[in-house]
Structure 1
Amino acid sequence: MRGGLGGPRLLLRRLREVMAEPVSAQARLDRIVIHIAANMVAEVCSVYVQRSDAKLELYATEGLNREAVHLTTMTTGEGLVGLIAEKAEPLALADAQAHPAFSYRPETGEEIYQSFLGVPILRGGNTLGVLVVQNRARRTYSEEEVEALQTTAMLLAEMIASGELQSLAAPGQSLSLQKPMALTGSPLSDGVGLGHVVLHEPRIIVKQLVAENPEAESARLDCAIQAMREQIDMLIARGDRYGAGEHRDVLETVRMFANDRGWMRRLREALESGLTAEAAVERVQNDARAKLQRQTDPYLRERLHDLDDLANRLLQQLTGVAPPHGGALPDNAILVARNMGPAALLDYERSNLRGLVLEDGGPTSHVAIIARALGIPAVGDVPNVTDLVETGDAIIVDGGSGDVQLRPPADVETAYGEKARLRARRREQYHKLRDMPALTRDGVEIGLHMNAGLLIDCQHASEVGAQSIGLFRTELQFMVAPSFPRQSQQYTLYRKVLDAVGDLPVTFRTLDIGSDKVLPYMTKMEEENPALGWRAIRIGLDRPGLLRMQLRAMLRAAEGRGLRIMFPMVAKIGEFVAARDICLREEEFLRSHGYATPSELKLGVMVEVPSLLWQLDEICQLADFLSVGSNDLTQYLFAADRDNKRVSARFDDLSAPNLRALKSIVDAAARYGTPVTLCGEMGGKPLEALALAAIGFRGLSMTPSAIGPVKAALRSVDLSALRAVLTPMIERLDHSVSIRQELQAFAEAHCVPL
């Protein structure tokens, strides 16, 4: 490639022709190394491919002993080839044998070659192998030659990623890109899903690597960068978000990278090596990913997302290809994405969807709520999963444990298949309990209700035997809509919900937005502490027109039926009184204008702000019912962000302080005869549900799939015996012993299924 840009352009053209020939994988690879050696005026060209056991195996060579192919191996970090794989950086040496990492392999016959140039074969920042050229004479390889070999390595990466070389692997061996991987994340939605990967945002494949007209490519890159910067500026100015789950600070970081001089310089250098604009972006991103993935600093590793975002935006500008979201799916599809909003998940056709895996997104994220509503097994917080998978890879999702098995071996697939069948049998057992009450062995009945947020959820109420919709999250309608729903649209939804459940009561929660629940068509407020900021009822009272519109839609929808409405995030009595007065005025307005109003109106409060714990006597006398939002109440009690993995696991729902707080609510409600339920995630876990029943809760609302397991546990327990064990645990001063462990021991000793 010393003859200028015609060299790499001619080589790439020839290699493309070789890739299209109907020959075996080994013959194709042998021809490729011959072409590269000839073009680079090198006496040796070798391709080493990384296997799943992290060893680098010689797959093809021109110049070395052919008998060494598939026999010579080295570990990552061993020898010059291993060093390149470990560092993911090119290495050019005039005297290779003088390098301290040089490792002699007598079977190859390479001792006569002095100069050495090797580059990593990268894809998505992951090392798939190493491409090497060697010469007898000592010579210094030019930067142009290094760049040209890197360009050629991009083509080999495509070949390895296609899976074609897997046929050359020894029995029991696989390539690194095809190796089985066991990944762990956060459980989002229970269930086991077996299927094949479908990327939510498929990679843009760069097919044209070498530029025919470098000046034109430079102009294309300039235009794309300018358009991308304008797009980011516009999104920030509008307070909008690109993709679900990204907030303004993320966009600000991406904008910073988009204007970074170092990044621009690297793009220019890649372009000057003769690449197309698309290939230059891919080259720079590959190199950046390879470096950042090897960093131990978590902050630097997190910058991968920002750089990925930037590269994807730029490739979309260059190719004009927008990532396809939603639509039909192949059979047994497992969606894999960096992040996803609730609307994006609902866009997919559900019949073939078997699971969801996300790099971001915790158990309380809104996409997790949708996944649970749809009964889709889901796992979140799986680091770099989108870089580890290829479309079509076999994958297993265990939404109960948070485990993800990528390209699983046959025995693992068999074991999970059996687990899925066992779950199906358990569901049949739970279905038999559907019409039976959640009656403990000593005769205490616990009301089991269902959380919902979409019309589609309501069909599950009769399927699982829920006694009511204990929480209908009205904000989900707002989050999946392209614009703020009009009163008529809200009325239609609430009417359909009431019709869908027949005689079952429905408790509607008024709009709970703010903090992490940002509507895509509303300007996001910049707040230092959004979880403690302008949200929920605070927005409703400050923007009473929004609250009145929603309340009027609910009141009209009930017409002649009972209606239950509760207000979220109430921190003081006055807020509930103000919201109640607005609702009663709306009811009187409708009545005076001839509309049918609810036959019975019950107004309640969500107890989720700790300040209400010291106003329980007053609120119990004013509200018709209480509903404990344990998700927020617990995070506020412990000052621990439930979506922050560093602190969310530090505090247990079954700790004495939390159970004492919850018991104080039950006790106050009992004093005034005020009905109280708990509608947080805590109530949907069998062990936690047992504890809640033992401290006095007689109503729990949960995701539909949790009703069966919770009912089975409650029907198997003697509540008075459990209370006798639990009460001293809550009251004792010594907390060295875990309440959770003691409760689990009690359940096992008394054959209570968990």
Structure 2
Amino acid sequence: MRGAYGGPRVLLRRLREVMAEPVTAQERLDRIVVLIAANMVAEVCSVYVLRSDNDLELFATEGLNRDAVHRTTMRKGEGLVGLVADEAESVNLSDAQAHPSFSYKPETGEEIYHSFMGVPILRSGNTLGVLVVQNKAHRTYSDEEVEALQTTAMVIAEMVASGELSGPGGAETVGRRPAHSAGVSLSDGIGLGHVVLHEPKIVVKNFIAEDVNKELKRLDEGLVRLRASIDVLLDDGDVARAGEHRDVLETFRMFAHDRGWGKRLHEAVMTGLTAEAAVERVQSDTRARMQRQTDPYLRERLHDLDDLAHRLLRELASPDHASRPREELPENAIVVARSMGPAALLEYDRTRLRGLVLEEGSGSSHVAIVARALGIAAIGQLENATGLAEAGDPIIVDGFSGEVHIRPTADVERAYADKVRFRARKQEQYRALRDRPFRTRDGVEVALMLNAGLLVDLPHIPETNAAGIGLFRTELQFMVAPSLPKTAAQEALYRAVLDAAGDKPVTFRTLDVGGDKVLPYMRLEPEENPALGWRAIRLGLDRPALMRTQIRALLRAAGGRELKIMFPMVSCVSEFDEAKAIVEREQARLAAHGFEAPAKVRLGVMVEVPSLLFQLEEIVRRVDFLSVGSNDLMQFLFAVDRGNAKVSSRFDPLDVAFLRALARVTAVAGAAGKPVTLCGEIAARPLEAMALVAIGYRSMSVSPAAIGPVKAMLLDLDAGDVANFVRPRLERFDGGHSLRAELGDYARSRGLQIEP
């Protein structure tokens, strides 16, 4: 090399000239390999591009047989080039032919070359190809030469990612190849559209520095601002106290001040890159390495480093890199994000939003609840979603299977277009059932009601002709608000809900926060087991002013009308007694101040803590109704964290043990003459809803999209026949099992519609 960093800088300056020339992408690549070979005094320079079929194709070469271009291919993992692609790490050998991975391709004429250096062509941690130099002499390439080649590979990565390059055979390069991944379904439905990144990437367009010293100064200034911003976060009053959240930020600050990270950034700039390109280069290398780690802790740290790099890019970026305004959302938008809260999702234009893809998130997360309320398809736990997708990419989100297709092939697009048309026809069939009574074939009435929590849910009442709102989640108003909603704001929402429902019943669940439902403006101590901790009614009873404010708003909103209030997470009778006393005090207070009282107040509890199953006889004597929270009840009954992908599917809601627990609730409530409603995802699926009817449930509350499929099944169902089928199977004991297969066979034999 011409000195420590002279070579790379000269190479980059000449690369800039080549990139500016008005030639085709192939011609540009041909000139680049000649330039690299001359600059590095290499006898061979070759570029291999990863195709959509996962084969590496020789796209350009200086030194090897030119006839081998677009003819020579190898599998990922085959030979030294395949090894570099597979491991996403550089390989530097003085005697390549002695390496066990060496693979000879006779058409290239490379048998006379001994030394070999290959570096991966990376973008966002994804391998797009391999850049290789070779010499006849036995030599080990210097660190500066490796650095120069890695820097050049970054420029080539942008050419590959843009989709400009294509071989004569028509095989698409990996940069634009279709990507298919599977995550976890958060909200049913199918969304076809184009990618909108929730936090748009800072697109680095200028890679090559004109003045290295100026870029070093910009980098240092950006690092100073970055570190200062994190210090401000840590000194903020909301996080200054000790706790898990502060530990996370302390770790974040540690990464920001890490000398190794800063050194790598400086070294990248010294090779001739701009400050932004250096950040992207270092983070892409880091992501490629950490994605191949099996240690979950190390893989989780990748998120921290991604966030840090993104923050630094924003500090360095010019104003034209600002985020896309929400009002510019394109038609048929699919939002892709690492994570997102419900308020952020609600900021998007709902008339243009068709789907949501998250790297995190579970079916019980707040954003999933809002996605279901908006009626958009949503997928969570899709690894590296933000790395796979580019803004504007065509994308298909299948909320039923949990699959996502990025840049889908024409065949896949046609298949999903047909699927959407089929679903549209099914929806038309469901809409045709709108005015038919909610009654089984043998005359048993089953009320289908809605789960709701936002004003956007209210139009679904007339659309579906639902029997009412069986669960109104009052906490969603608190979650999307920047501060604690005042009594007047709460009252306005509750009155609007009652007005929209008309003469149909509405059951309001009191504030269910705490645990994993954290309000940004409410200070809660970190807990080791938040799902079992200070949440729901426990928090309300310990903070009676909060509960009193909400009860007061509910009572005032329901003046002259019936009001149904239920309390969540009740684990013993005494908790209900305390909550009832608060309601009675607020009723007396309203009467004393001359407010119109509700025509009738009915109080109930959610059966979701297993301990209440053993106090049912006592609790039904006190309440006016029961609601079963099947999601939490199943979670607690089986000790399975429903937000943990590793165990959330371990047990089936049609397991005999769970159905027995649910049957006990209907039996005790029925004997006492108290109505019971099941609220939860189990009722939203036709097969599970059929089992609920069999064990005595005559009221279910589901998402709006589930009304049609469940009603279609109910209209064809013989409730007496299915009860005779299910109940004997609950009484026998054979070690415990799920009834899913038997119920599926039963439904098919009776011609019931059990598919969503």
The TM-score normalised by the length of structure 1 is 0.94
On the 8 A contact 1:44/1:61 being kept in 2, the answer is yes
In structure 2, how many angstroms separate the alpha carbons of the residues matched to 1:18 and 1:333? 37
Post-superposition shift, 1:280?
2.7
On the 8 A contact 2:341/2:367 being kept in 1, the answer is yes
Instruction: Look up the equivalent residue of 1:335 and give its one-letter code.
Output: V
Task: Establish whether residue 296 from structure 1 lines up as the match of residue 267 from structure 2.
Answer: no
Q: Partner residue of 2:317? A: 319
Secondary structure, aligned partner of 2:80: helix
Counterpart pick for 1:204 among 202, 212, 218: 202
On the 8 A contact 1:393/1:406 being kept in 2, the answer is yes
In structure 2, how many angstroms separate the alpha carbons of the residues matched to 1:163 and 1:574? 66
Q: For residues 290-348 of structure 1, give each alpha carbon's deviation from its aligned partner in whole angstroms, at most 9, with x where no partner exists.
A: 11222334443333223222222222233276655744321222211111111111111
In structure 2, how many angstroms separate the alpha carbons of the residues matched to 1:355 and 1:3? 53
Q: Partner residue of 1:497? A: 497
In structure 2, how many angstroms separate the alpha carbons of the residues matched to 1:615 and 1:73? 70
In structure 1, how many angstroms separate the alpha carbons of the residues matched to 2:17 and 2:23? 12
Secondary structure, aligned partner of 1:622: coil
Post-superposition shift, 1:393?
2.2
Q: 1:52 to 1:474 in 2, by over 3 A?
A: same
Secondary structure, aligned partner of 2:199: coil
On the 8 A contact 1:295/1:301 being kept in 2, the answer is yes
Q: Partner residue of 2:169? A: 170
1:9-408 map, 5 Å: 9-166=9-166, 168=167, 170-171=169-170, 173-235=171-233, 250-251=248-249, 253-319=251-317, 323-324=323-324, 326-408=326-408
Q: For residues 11-52 of structure 1, give each alpha carbon's deviation from its aligned partner in whole angstroms, at most 9, with x where no partner exists.
A: 334323433333222112112222222332333221110112
Secondary structure, aligned partner of 2:520: coil
Moved more, 228-237 or 16-25: 228-237
Q: Partner residue of 1:604? A: 604
In structure 2, how many angstroms separate the alpha carbons of the residues matched to 1:690 and 1:322? 51
Q: For residues 380-417 of structure 1, give each alpha carbon's deviation from its aligned partner in whole angstroms, at most 9, with x where no partner exists.
A: 11122222222222221111111222222222221111
In structure 1, how many angstroms separate the alpha carbons of the residues matched to 2:113 and 2:51? 26
Instruction: Look up the equivalent residue of 1:543 and give its one-letter code.
Output: R
Post-superposition shift, 1:223?
4.2
Post-superposition shift, 1:462?
0.8
1:637-656 map, 5 Å: 637-656=637-656
Q: 1:543 to 1:738 in 2, by over 3 A?
A: closer
In structure 1, how many angstroms separate the alpha carbons of the residues matched to 2:675 and 2:271? 73
On the 8 A contact 2:195/2:391 being kept in 1, the answer is yes
Instruction: Look up the equivalent residue of 2:148 and give its one-letter code.
Output: A
Q: 1:448 to 1:240 in 2, by over 3 A?
A: farther
Q: 1:169 to 1:541 in 2, by over 3 A?
A: farther
Q: 1:522 to 1:271 in 2, by over 3 A?
A: farther
Q: Partner residue of 1:584? A: 584
Aligned pairs, number: 748
In structure 2, how many angstroms separate the alpha carbons of the residues matched to 1:540 and 1:322? 42
In structure 1, how many angstroms separate the alpha carbons of the residues matched to 2:679 and 2:426? 24
In structure 1, how many angstroms separate the alpha carbons of the residues matched to 2:67 and 2:160? 22
In structure 2, how many angstroms separate the alpha carbons of the residues matched to 1:95 and 1:660? 70
Post-superposition shift, 1:253?
4.4
On the 8 A contact 1:240/1:520 being kept in 2, the answer is no
Post-superposition shift, 1:59?
0.6
Instruction: Look up the equivalent residue of 1:555 and give its one-letter code.
Output: L
Q: 1:464 to 1:240 in 2, by over 3 A?
A: farther
Post-superposition shift, 1:255?
3.9
In structure 1, how many angstroms separate the alpha carbons of the residues matched to 2:221 and 2:549? 46
Q: Partner residue of 1:517? A: 517
Q: Partner residue of 2:482? A: 482
On the 8 A contact 1:605/1:625 being kept in 2, the answer is yes
On the 8 A contact 1:483/1:521 being kept in 2, the answer is yes
On the 8 A contact 1:564/1:601 being kept in 2, the answer is yes
Post-superposition shift, 1:649?
1.2
Secondary structure, aligned partner of 1:316: helix
Instruction: Look up the equivalent residue of 1:696 and give its one-letter code.
Output: G
Q: For residues 363-392 of structure 1, give each alpha carbon's deviation from its aligned partner in whole angstroms, at most 9, with x where no partner exists.
A: 111111111111101111112222222222
In structure 2, how many angstroms separate the alpha carbons of the residues matched to 1:12 and 1:461? 63
On the 8 A contact 1:194/1:397 being kept in 2, the answer is yes
Q: For residues 522-542 of structure 1, give each alpha carbon's deviation from its aligned partner in whole angstroms, at most 9, with x where no partner exists.
A: 224211111111111111111
In structure 2, how many angstroms separate the alpha carbons of the residues matched to 1:536 and 1:574? 15
In structure 2, how many angstroms separate the alpha carbons of the residues matched to 1:511 and 1:611? 21
Post-superposition shift, 1:210?
4.2
Secondary structure, aligned partner of 2:128: strand
Q: 1:240 to 1:312 in 2, by over 3 A?
A: farther
Q: 1:748 to 1:318 in 2, by over 3 A?
A: same
Q: Partner residue of 1:680? A: 680
Q: Partner residue of 1:557? A: 557
Instruction: Look up the equivalent residue of 2:309 and give its one-letter code.
Output: A
Secondary structure, aligned partner of 2:489: helix
In structure 2, how many angstroms separate the alpha carbons of the residues matched to 1:319 and 1:422? 46
Q: Partner residue of 1:691? A: 691
In structure 1, how many angstroms separate the alpha carbons of the residues matched to 2:614 and 2:75? 64
Instruction: Look up the equivalent residue of 2:696 and give its one-letter code.
Output: G
Moved more, 201-210 or 668-677: 201-210
Post-superposition shift, 1:236?
5.3
Q: 1:737 to 1:4 in 2, by over 3 A?
A: closer
In structure 2, how many angstroms separate the alpha carbons of the residues matched to 1:369 and 1:240? 27
Q: 1:621 to 1:722 in 2, by over 3 A?
A: same
Q: 1:647 to 1:100 in 2, by over 3 A?
A: closer
Secondary structure, aligned partner of 1:373: helix
On the 8 A contact 1:325/1:344 being kept in 2, the answer is no
Post-superposition shift, 1:731?
1.2
Instruction: Look up the equivalent residue of 2:577 and give its one-letter code.
Output: V
Q: For residues 56-108 of structure 1, give each alpha carbon's deviation from its aligned partner in whole angstroms, at most 9, with x where no partner exists.
A: 11111122222111011122222222221122122233343343433333322
On the 8 A contact 2:678/2:697 being kept in 1, the answer is yes
In structure 2, how many angstroms separate the alpha carbons of the residues matched to 1:571 and 1:659? 20
Q: 1:221 to 1:27 in 2, by over 3 A?
A: closer
On the 8 A contact 1:2/1:145 being kept in 2, the answer is no
Secondary structure, aligned partner of 1:725: helix
Q: 1:189 to 1:219 in 2, by over 3 A?
A: same
Any stretches of 5+ residues in structure 1 without a counterpart? none
In structure 2, how many angstroms separate the alpha carbons of the residues matched to 1:626 and 1:353? 36
Q: Partner residue of 1:667? A: 667
In structure 1, how many angstroms separate the alpha carbons of the residues matched to 2:238 and 2:694? 46
In structure 1, how many angstroms separate the alpha carbons of the residues matched to 2:237 and 2:408? 42
Q: CA RMSD in A?
A: 2.3
1:393-542 map, 5 Å: 393-542=393-542
On the 8 A contact 1:327/1:347 being kept in 2, the answer is no
The TM-score normalised by the length of structure 2 is 0.94
Q: Partner residue of 1:8? A: 8
In structure 1, how many angstroms separate the alpha carbons of the residues matched to 2:428 and 2:475? 33
Post-superposition shift, 1:214?
4.5
Q: 1:255 to 1:610 in 2, by over 3 A?
A: farther
